[in-house]
C-alpha cells in the first residue's frame, strides 16, 4: 500500500495470509512503543522510521506493528529468509485495489 498507485498499477502484487507456527515469536509494537507518534500517520517513511524497523527485524523474527493505512489494523513484518519453517502460507492471491481510489484529476 505504501508504494503508491504508480507502482501498484504497473507491477502485479500479491497479498498473502500466513499462519505463524509459534505465536510467541511475534513481537508486538504497541502504539505507545513507537518513538514518534507521527510515525503512525500516513506519509513517506523517514530515515528514523526505517532504522527503527530494521532494528526490530534484526532482533525479532516477526514484528506486528500498527497500520498507518487503517487505524484498526496491524501489519506483520518479517524477513522471509529468517522466518523459513516458522510459518505456513494460508492464502495468496493477486492484489486488487479499487481503481476509484486513484481518480484522475
**pLDDT score, position 93:** 94
Please provide residue 61's backbone torsions phi and psi, each rounded to the nearest 5 degrees: -70, -45
Inter-residue contact 86 to 21 (CB < 8 Å)? yes
Residue ranges covered by each domain of the chain: 5-98
**pLDDT score, position 97:** 77
Mean pLDDT of the chain: 88
Range 10-20 average pLDDT = 87
Inter-residue contact 1 to 69 (CB < 8 Å)? yes
98: Cβ contacts below 8 Å, ≥ 6 apart: none
Cell of 85: 519453517
Amino acid at each position: 500500500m505504501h508504494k503508491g498507485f504508480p507502482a501498484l498499477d504497473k507491477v502485479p502484487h500479491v497479498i498473502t495470509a500466513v499462519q505463524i507456527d509459534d505465536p510467541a515469536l511475534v513481537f508486538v509494537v504497541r502504539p505507545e512503543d513507537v518513538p514518534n507518534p507521527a510515525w503512525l500517520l500516513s506519509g513517506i517513511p523517514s530515515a528514523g522510521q526505517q532504522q527503527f524497523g530494521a532494528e526490530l527485524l534484526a532482533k525479532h523474527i516477526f514484528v506486528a506493528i500498527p497500520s498507518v493505512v487503517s487505524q484498526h489494523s496491524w501489519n506483520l513484518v518479517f524477513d522471509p529468509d529468517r522466518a523459513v519453517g516458522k510459518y505456513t502460507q494460508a492464502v495468496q492471491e493477486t492484489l486488487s485495489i479499487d481503481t476509484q481510489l486513484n481518480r484522475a484529476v
